[in-house]
Amino acid sequence: MSEPIRVLVVDDHELFLQGLQTTLDVEDDINVVGRAGDGREAAKLASDTVPDIVLMDIRMPHGDGIEAAAAIKHAVPSAKIVMLTFSDDESDLFDAIKAGAVGYLLKSIPPHEVAGAVRSVHGGMSLISPFMASKLMSEFASIARGSDERPRVPAATRITARELEVLKLVAEGRANRDIARRLFISENTVKNHVRNILDKLQLHSRMEAVMYAVRQGLFEIE
């Protein structure tokens, strides 16, 4: 059997934090390795526990979730950060993506879906609440309809045709396994392509890479 998914939960409301841990503790393949009540504590605990997934609120004292996300990604690059918040503010969504988050879920998510979200993100998917996803897609569409005089960053020219093909499928929300099947390559090859794209563009997450590609006019999202 594979090792349980290591999860760090972060929220400044103790009642919600306890409920989140209780929800995840019943799952055999998930292990809550720590709880934090603010951004500063979250960054320290992440360094100490090296979680696979961080479930974190945005609005917190002593360093909000955005600041904590950037600090955690610096300390534990392998950690995948999912914002779990009441905030449906578009700027929070975009700032979270820029800080390295690969998921953005609203706290209205049914409790029984939290474990599934953890597994999906651990498996390589980016995950956004449908309501926030509609805002993100509207932003993509707006960018795509924008001026044709977009400045081209030299790094973008180093992306290969196959890497761009992978990035388009990522933009459609497809998991690595689905991308691998469609392109007749292995999942590891898909992961390598995504890693190469992020390295070339000096970005932190799949969603941020998609936003960059649309802004640069590398492809459009209908």
Q: Encode pLDDT of 169-212 as tens digits.
A: 887 767 788 889 999 999 889 989 988 998 888 887 777 787 77
Q: Which of 82-96, 100-114, 159-173: highest mean pLDDT?
A: 100-114
- Between the alpha carbon of residue 111 and those of residues 26, 59, 94, 123, the distances in Å are 12, 20, 25, 20
The arrangement of strands across the sheet holding 5-10 comes to 30-36, 5-10, 53-56, 80-85, 101-106, 127-128
Sequence letter at residue 100: G
Judged by DSSP in three states, 60 sits in coil
Domains of the chain: 5-129 (3.40.50.2300), 146-215 (1.10.10.10)
| Alpha carbon distance 202, 222 (integer Å) | 26
Tens digits of residue pLDDT in 130-163: 777 766 666 655 555 554 444 444 555 678 989 9
User: Do 62 and 41 touch, CB atoms closer than 8 A?
Assistant: yes
CA 174 to the chain's CA centroid: 14
Say which residue, 133 or 30, is predicted with more confidence. 30
- Of residues 81 and 89, more confidence is placed in 81
Q: How many CB atoms lie within 10 A of CB 38?
A: 18
Taking CA atoms, 31 is separated from 5, 141, 182, in Å, by 6, 39, 33
Q: Is the pLDDT of residue 110 over 50?
A: yes
Between residues 114 and 125, which one has the greater pLDDT? 114
Residue 79: pLDDT band (50, 70, 90) is very high
C-alpha to C-alpha distance for 84 and 82, rounded to whole angstroms? 6
Spatial distance between the Cα atoms of 177 and 71, rounded to a whole number of angstroms: 30
For residues 64 and 39, what is the distance between their CA atoms, to the nearest angstrom? 5
